[in-house]
Structure 1
Amino acid sequence: MQRRSMLLAALGSLAASGTATAASEVLDRPAGMSPLAAQRLITGIARAGERLVAGGQRGHIVHSEDGGRVWVQALVPVSSDLTAVSFVDAKVGYATGHDGVVLGTRDGGHGWTRLIEGRQVNTLVLEHMQRRAAASDASEQDRKLLAEAQRNAEAGPDKPFLDLCFTSANEGFVVGAYGLILCTADGGRTWEPWFDRADNPGLLNLYAIRVHRGSIYIAGEGGLLLKLDRDMQRFRELTSPYKGSYFGLAATKAGVLAFGMRGNAFISTDEGAAWKAVHTGLDASIVGGAVATNGTVALVDQSGGIALSIDGGLSFTRSSLRSQVPLAAVAFASTSSLVLGGPRGLRTIDLTSKDK
């Protein structure tokens, strides 16, 4: 329960799916159309070329063509709460969410299709671990993971995916609660379980995944940092400087930035070998980060605080501008403006403004 509570706090979510029946209902029910969709809980924002796309509660996805002034709701086939949105280019994008949901779009976020959901995820992972546990080289860890997969299948489609990372329109990973990792090589048509290919024996929650200069990193609960070893096809644990949870990662011009509880942030400029603490000026948990085209980095925390860096995350200055409500997501609308997401929806702020 403690891990679940931390998970929901990190997302800023108002409610989680309760029973397997409730999860199945939202998986089979399209998101309701609402003129207030952009004013409800938003937990993920991404750029699709010049367009902004944001997702959040009850499957709502909205997009803006004018830097966040006007938002239009998209058609979404599920009403599960969404957690993250990411685009490969101006057309191809993906979103993740509660109940094991992964969505895809090929038209810049106007329309979305369901690529996989929790019922399918449970079956996929269980069958995968049954094969692994029956193999001649099966380990004790394989048998433990099989038991976990069986419990998940019995519990129903209640495990959320929390973040995603695509290196191309076809190849990518989604990560989530209790160590869940799936990989696709064909744009989400098929998926392969990878939670047995990570140095995460405690099945800690995986909150963030990013690619930086060709390397893929994962950050999670309890100070967990992982990096993909392409030769071994496995996420190997990195030496972490912090035991608190990381809620996000940012790929900056200086290196890989990990951030999380109590305003803590650490940067690695040597591909994860060593990490240096960065003073952000933020006190609450940092739950969102974004990088502008000019290299400026923005971090936001759960109290509404904003910190900015012009040197790739090596140092930060706390902005005098702040949100009046908790924040959960951030993106650059331009090099001088931010789009913020949280419990009260979306807001665009001008970084040059003197209005507090």
Structure 2
Amino acid sequence: PRGVHLYSIQQRDADVLIAGEQGALFRSEDGGQRFVELETPYPGTFFGVLIIDSDTLLAYGLRGNAWRSADRGANWEQIDLGQPVTVTSGKVLLDRSILLADESGRLMRSSDAGRSFKPVEGSFPTGLTGLAQGSDKAVVLSGVRGLTRVDPAQLVAESR
């Protein structure tokens, strides 16, 4: 619809979510057989959406925009990430915390299901494009400069 680019697909059981330009979010509850568009208050690009639990979603994108829904996408609240830097990737970690990465190399972590985020201590490469977590709980960052492994002990969020 509307000729928008789509950037991310996220699946959990039969739920499938797709994020894209112009605030586009699409959800399927039947494993991708049929999609409906979720209305969002944000008209900018979403580079990703995370399924936090059966009801909670977190969409993120341009200029540090992050939006959270606690009711499967019916209503949305904006989450303050502290800087207007594009968020390029996100991951729900094995411990159920949430990690977001922005294009400046900043990692932000949430321990409250995406209600708030704190920056992770340390220096990480700029131009981050993806996050993955191994069974050893280490996180692998992908970006324009290749791959970087981050030990789980380094994923400590700073207190504000």
Question: Normalising TM by the smaller chain, what interval?
Answer: 0.7 to 0.9
| 2:147 alignment partner in structure 1 | 346
Asked whether the equivalents of residues 282 and 301 of structure 1 are also in contact (C-alpha less than 8 Å), the reply is: no
Amino acid at match of 2:153: T
Percent of aligned positions that are identical: 35
| 1:332 alignment partner in structure 2 | 133
CA distance, structure 2, for counterparts of residue 212 and residue 281 of structure 1 = 29
Deviation at 1:331, TM superposition (A): 1.7
Asked whether the equivalents of residues 244 and 261 of structure 1 are also in contact (C-alpha less than 8 Å), the reply is: yes
**SS of match in other structure, 1:352:** helix
1:318 and 2:119 aligned:
yes
Larger radius of gyration: 1
Deviation at 1:338, TM superposition (A): 2.0
| 2:22 alignment partner in structure 1 | 222
1:245 and 2:45 aligned:
yes
Determine which structure has the larger strand proportion and give its number. 2
| 2:73 alignment partner in structure 1 | 272
Asked whether the equivalents of residues 263 and 280 of structure 1 are also in contact (C-alpha less than 8 Å), the reply is: yes
Asked whether the equivalents of residues 248 and 287 of structure 1 are also in contact (C-alpha less than 8 Å), the reply is: yes
**SS of match in other structure, 1:262:** helix
Amino acid at match of 1:217: L
Deviation at 1:302, TM superposition (A): 0.8
| 2:34 alignment partner in structure 1 | 234
Deviation at 1:334, TM superposition (A): 5.6
Determine which structure has the larger helix proportion and give its number. 1
| 1:211 alignment partner in structure 2 | 11
Amino acid at match of 1:302: E
After superposition, where does 1:41-120 map in structure 2 within 5 Å?
none
Deviation at 1:322, TM superposition (A): 3.1
CA distance, structure 2, for counterparts of residue 280 and residue 310 of structure 1 = 14
Give the aligned CA root-mean-square deviation in angstroms: 2.2
CA distance, structure 2, for counterparts of residue 348 and residue 334 of structure 1 = 13
CA distance, structure 2, for counterparts of residue 297 and residue 331 of structure 1 = 12
After superposition, the C-alpha distances for 1:270-294 in whole angstroms (9 at most, x for unaligned) are 1111111112234321111111111
| 1:192 alignment partner in structure 2 | none
CA distance, structure 2, for counterparts of residue 228 and residue 210 of structure 1 = 10
Amino acid at match of 1:277: Q
| 1:258 alignment partner in structure 2 | 59
Asked whether the equivalents of residues 308 and 319 of structure 1 are also in contact (C-alpha less than 8 Å), the reply is: yes
**SS of match in other structure, 2:43:** coil
**SS of match in other structure, 1:307:** strand
Amino acid at match of 2:110: S
Deviation at 1:350, TM superposition (A): 2.9
Deviation at 1:309, TM superposition (A): 0.7
Normalising to structure 1: TM-score of the pair?
0.40
Amino acid at match of 2:88: V
Runs of at least 5 residues in structure 1 that lack an aligned partner in the other structure: 1-199
Amino acid at match of 2:78: A
CA distance, structure 2, for counterparts of residue 206 and residue 238 of structure 1 = 14
Runs of at least 5 residues in structure 2 that lack an aligned partner in the other structure: none
